[in-house]
Amino acid sequence: MEDGSALTISGSGTLSATGGTNGAGVGAGRQSDAGTITILGGAVTANGGFNGAGIGGGSGELTGFSGDVITTDGGDGGMITIQGGTVAANGGIEGAGIGGGSMGTGGITTIEGGSVTASGIGGAGVGGGFCDIYVADINVIPAGTGNGGTITITGGVIAASSSSSGSAIAQGAGIGGGFTGDGGIITISGGTVTANNACTGSIGVGAGIGG
């Protein structure tokens, strides 16, 4: 479900969703931003495909490169609200657990309750996706990509982490930006929050909370 669409998950049932290549577990597909996702209850497990977030954006795509101007499209996390339930969100390689896919920003993420475990690979646990692009063997980073977006936590029990694997040989923040991304705007006023990165000899290591 992409930008302009809305999904609400509620009740006491169980949902397990796995994205295909470039797709989120719950959210958008390739070159697409996620829409509005609300989780009120239930047991939700969401696993992103390669380049996709667990919950949020699919893979972003490089759409233009001219001189110093680089453009991308898609991958943003949309608007994600979690008020209850038990949520396990695992990003695919280069995706955030909750938020952006590869090259995507975190969007707007609000966690008000529930038990939430979010893990990214190169992307943040909660926040932006991984971004590190080579064009004609030149390393380029499009402005704004991988940004953590706006993250607000007022309640719940949250464990967020980022690790490295495969092509994502660097890590994002536990909460905040993916690799090379800024932390965004992060507000934590309640709940129990654990945020870290699981360093495994990677080239770059993100913060527990931040960029």
**Tell me, what's the pLDDT at 91?**
94
pLDDT score at 102: 86
**Whole-structure pTM value:** 0.86
Q: What is the pLDDT of residues 49-103, one digit of tens each?
A: 998 999 999 887 666 665 555 555 567 889 999 999 999 999 999 899 999 988 7
- Contact (CB, 8 A) for 32 and 59: no
In degrees and rounded to multiples of 5, residue 60 shows phi and psi of -80, 165
pLDDT for the residue 160: 93
The Cα 103–Cα 191 span in angstroms is: 29
Q: Is the distance from CB of 27 to CB of 1 less than 8 angstroms?
A: yes
Contact 82, 110 (CB under 8 A): yes
Q: In the prediction, which pLDDT does 122 show?
A: 85
Please tell me the predicted confidence (pLDDT) of residue 202: 37
- Using 50 as the pLDDT threshold, list the residues of the chain that sit under it: 134-137, 168, 200-205
pLDDT at site 103 = 79
Helix (H/G/I), strand (E/B), else coil: 44 = strand
Q: Residue 69: its pLDDT value, please?
A: 55
36-39 vs 79-82, strand pairing mode: parallel
